[in-house]
Chain A
Amino acid sequence: AQSVTQPDIHITVSEGASLELRCNYSYGATPYLFWYVQSPGQGLQLLLKYFSGDTLVQGIKGFEAEFKRSQSSFNLRKPSVHWSDAAEYFCAVGLNQAGTALIFGKGTTLSVSS
């Protein structure tokens, strides 16, 4: 069965430091992978997605993610974190090519310290 694991429940990073959020997936075929962010009181917003092609995907707000098939991973990175990045981050795998049926990980809460 398809599943997504985000091993880190909570991460604290200093403002200006780099960030990497881990995501591992289990999926039989070529996965369609997504990262979403949810800020308090805000809806889920798509940061980036991978469907095929270049394994390094650029997203909004300076985020990028790298698809590594051999490690079944799709880690999210940002070179320099801003206080406004504090939020909950969700990795997801699509059950269909349309990306309209998603299996989400449990999420990682990011706190940013000054």
Chain B
Amino acid sequence: KAGVTQTPRYLIKTRGQQVTLSCSPISGHRSVSWYQQTPGQGLQFLFEYFSETQRNKGNFPGRFSGRQFSNSRSEMNVSTLELGDSALYLCASSRGDRGGQETQYFGPGTRLLVL
């Protein structure tokens, strides 16, 4: 079974631009969660999508948004990039409907550098 894939793996943008990151979950998984990892703040939860609906949301500004498609693939968008948005963005997938039996599988991440 293929794992979680994220594209692109590396990205360089300049301040003020916007960026879209993609995550393809494991086949059969309907939940996709996004996290931001930085040296200073660590791993922070952005949001989770389940069956095309945002189910949980972290404490990030509105510049961070996401969506999920009918095939469970998810995209994350960051508008008006700031230097502080430089980070490793991780997505994780799971079935999302098994309560305590869930295991989240993480992708390798997209490393975003904002100049």
Interface residues of A (CB under 8 A from B): 32, 36, 42-46, 49, 51-52, 90, 92, 95-107
B41's nearest neighbour on chain A, judged by CB, is A106
Contacts of A102 in B (CB 8 A): 33, 35, 43, 45, 104
Contact A99:B104 (CB < 8 A) given known A43-B90, A44-B90: yes
Q: Are B56 and A104 in contact (CB under 8 A)?
A: no
Contacts of B103 in A (CB 8 A): 46, 49, 99
The answer, yes or no, to whether B1 is at the interface (CB within 8 Å) is: no
> 0/1 per residue, B85-115, Cβ < 8 Å to A?
0000010101011111011111111000000
Contacts of A97 in B (CB 8 A): 99-100
The answer, yes or no, to whether B42 is at the interface (CB within 8 Å) is: yes
| Count of A-B residue pairs with CB < 8 Å | 73
Q: Are B56 and A95 in contact (CB under 8 A)?
A: yes
Contacts of A43 in B (CB 8 A): 4, 90, 106-109
Q: Beyond A98-B98, A101-B58, list 16 extra A-B contacts (CB 8 Å).
A: A32-B100, A44-B92, A44-B106, A92-B43, A95-B56, A96-B55, A97-B99, A99-B103, A100-B31, A100-B33, A100-B50, A100-B56, A100-B102, A101-B55, A104-B44, A106-B42
Contact A98:B102 (CB < 8 A) given known A43-B90, A43-B107, A43-B108: yes
User: Which of A32, A97, A102 gathers most chain B CB within 10 Å?
Assistant: A102
A98 and B107 CA atoms in complex are apart in Å by 18
A101 and B92 CA atoms in complex are apart in Å by 10
